[in-house]
Amino acid sequence: MSSSVDIDDITLTYKGASGGVLALQGTTLNVKRGEFAAVVGPSGCGKSSLMKLVTGLIRPDKGDISVFGDKVRGPVKIAGMAFQNPNLLPWRKVADNVLLPLEIVEPHRHRFRRDNAKYREQVEALLKTVGLSGFGDRYPWELSGGMQQRVSLCRSLIHEPALLMLDEPFAALDAFTREELWCVLRDLWQKLGFTVILVTHDLREAAFLADTIHVMSARPGRIVMTKAVDLPRPRDLEICFEPRFTDIVHELRAKIAEVRQT
Amino acid sequence: MKDLLEKLSPWLFTIAIFALWEAACRIFNFSPFIMASPTQAFGAIIQHWQPLLRHSFVTLWTTMAGFALAVIFGVALGLIVGWSRTIYRGLYPVMIGFNTIPKVAVVPILIMWFGIGEIPAILTAFLISFFPIVVNVATGLATMEPELEDVLRALGARKLDIMLKVGIPRTQPYLFGSLKVAITLAFVGTVVSETIGANAGLGYLIALAGSNFQMPLVFAALLLLAVEGILMYAVFALIEARFTHWAFRSSMSAAA
């Protein structure tokens, strides 16, 4: 399989009032095309910086990043993003929130008016796959937190991005809703086949969803362990209670405890 | 019963204040050269309805003209200031300094430049009501969620796209909130200017009637000013509720 994201020995410093803060140093990471990668690590280790670097929102001080073979020089334009906060626009109905990327990304933005009906059908279809059929005409505030996060996922996928970047998207949800959304994401990924980088601090989430888990060290962050998850797919939530699953979670937990010490 | 009382309470309070005022005037037996009672003031409205209507209209249209200018320039400057941090930092001290100057002090200059008439009143209304609009529009833009900006930038959105799709719509509640403040300030500006130098308007009428010791007419003009202010405030409160209903609802959302 060819490579979709290549992070090669990068260094990133944040300039602060009391001198620079070294956020990442010597970070190297490789994600294959169509792979589901998770990045876990102690808080403040620069996981979110990694997201911004890959999408080209910030530039590293040193090192190269390539996305689908092209060096990242500015915002990459083919990535979908979702965060812990759904960040929906309260003045737009759900369907119009999901349509937002199509109003911006080429070539859709030029066809947006002409093909509006077609795009709306796509939105409805996507909402249906996340279990929100018929909610397109509601406003975001009429939806629960979990439903808002589903809409946010739809918005990050409507323009069929080759790369999906998720920054702790389920961290603010209750345990049941979170597990429900794991399955939503699993199904979307299996159906659409995009590449995912999921940043999370939930080890069970990483083990359940990902093909590969990268463990980051405390600041300055770098990858200290890469663990392939060889659980069979499609995975069912029941797998979370099997010994081979808990073994993986234990191993990750031990590694993180170790890097937190140093 | 409680709901009905709550609905009627603005009227009850207004009537109570008038009743207290009337009672005070009767008990203390003020000279009509010093203080007018509500009955005298309403009597003056009936007696002098023609000049009062004419002057009320002048005050209303000059206020609205000044306010319209303030909205146009306030929104434009607010967008510019909110657009760039450099402009924001550069202009902010200048604007604070400008806003600190009491507008009464500027009126004589305006009268020297434009003569006695409506123009100084319009400009004073503009100057006084312009600042809250600028500050609110700029705040609305400046408080945009950085993550939302990231989502759009990662799609290849330009600054203009982000402004049109997110910045300007999310500024609406800030803008409409500021309009309610600005319209009441605009009345202050107009009346101050009319009192200092004008040949029409309620401010002019108040100054004139005051110097003639026609207290009932003075209070009649004050009452009409209050009515105009309340009416315009209500208009903008209605517009606000109509355009930014989502801002009121979303804050009540179960899932924030």
Write the residue in A76, A87, A146 that is nearest to B148 by C-beta.
Answer: A87
Q: How far apart are CA B46 and CA B48, in angstroms?
A: 6
| Pair A193, A238: CB distance under 8 Å | no
A78 touches B131 (CB < 8 A): no
Beta carbons within 10 angstroms of residue B132's beta carbon: 20
* Residue in B147, B150, B165 nearest the CB of A100: B165
Nearest to B155 among A105, A143, A144 (CB): A105
- B255 to chain A, closest Cα gap in Å: 5
Query: Is B210 buried (19+), middle (13-18) or exposed (0-12) by CB count in 10 A?
Result: middle
Q: What is the CA radius of gyration of chain B?
A: 23
A81 min Cα distance to partner chain B (Å): 6
Give the nearest chain B residue to A84 (CA atoms).
B147
For chain B, give the mean pLDDT. Answer: 89
Tell me the per-residue pLDDT of A177-231, one tens digit each, with 9 for 90 and over.
888 889 989 988 998 889 999 999 899 999 999 999 999 888 788 888 898 888 8
Using an 8 Å CB-CB cutoff, list chain B residues near A94. Answer: none
Residue of B nearest to A48 (CA): B147
For chain A, helix, strand, coil in percent to 5 are 40, 25, 35
pLDDT at A51: 86
Contact B154 A104 (CB under 8 A): no
Inter-chain contacts counted by CB atoms under 8 A, chains A and B = 87
| Residue of chain B whose alpha carbon sits nearest to that of A105 | B155
Determine, for residues A165 and B154 on separate chains, whether the beta-carbon distance falls below 8 Å: yes
CA distance B243 to chain A (A): 10
Tell me the per-residue pLDDT of B153-178, one tens digit each, with 9 for 90 and over: 888 888 888 999 999 998 998 999 89
CA distance, residue B93 to nearest chain A CA (Å): 23
* A158 to chain B: closest CA residue: B155
Q: How is residue B162 written in tokens?
A: 């982000």
- The residue of chain B with its CA nearest to that of A82 is B151
Contact A81/B154, CB-based, under 8 Å?
yes
pLDDT digits (tens, 9 = 90+) for A62-107: 888 888 888 888 888 778 888 888 889 999 999 999 999 888 887 7
Residue ranges covered by each domain of chain B? 49-243
Question: Confidence band (pLDDT; 50, 70, 90) for B256?
Answer: very low
Closest chain B C-alpha to A12 CA, distance in angstroms = 18
Tens digit of each residue's pLDDT (9 = 90 or more) over A189-199 = 998 889 999 99
The 10 Å Cβ neighbour count of residue A248 is: 21
Q: Which fold has domain B49-243?
A: MetI-like fold (1.10.3720)
Is B207 a residue whose pLDDT tops 80? Answer: yes
Average pLDDT over residues B185-203: 93
> Could you tell me which of A99, A110, A173, A109 has the C-alpha nearest to residue A137?
A99
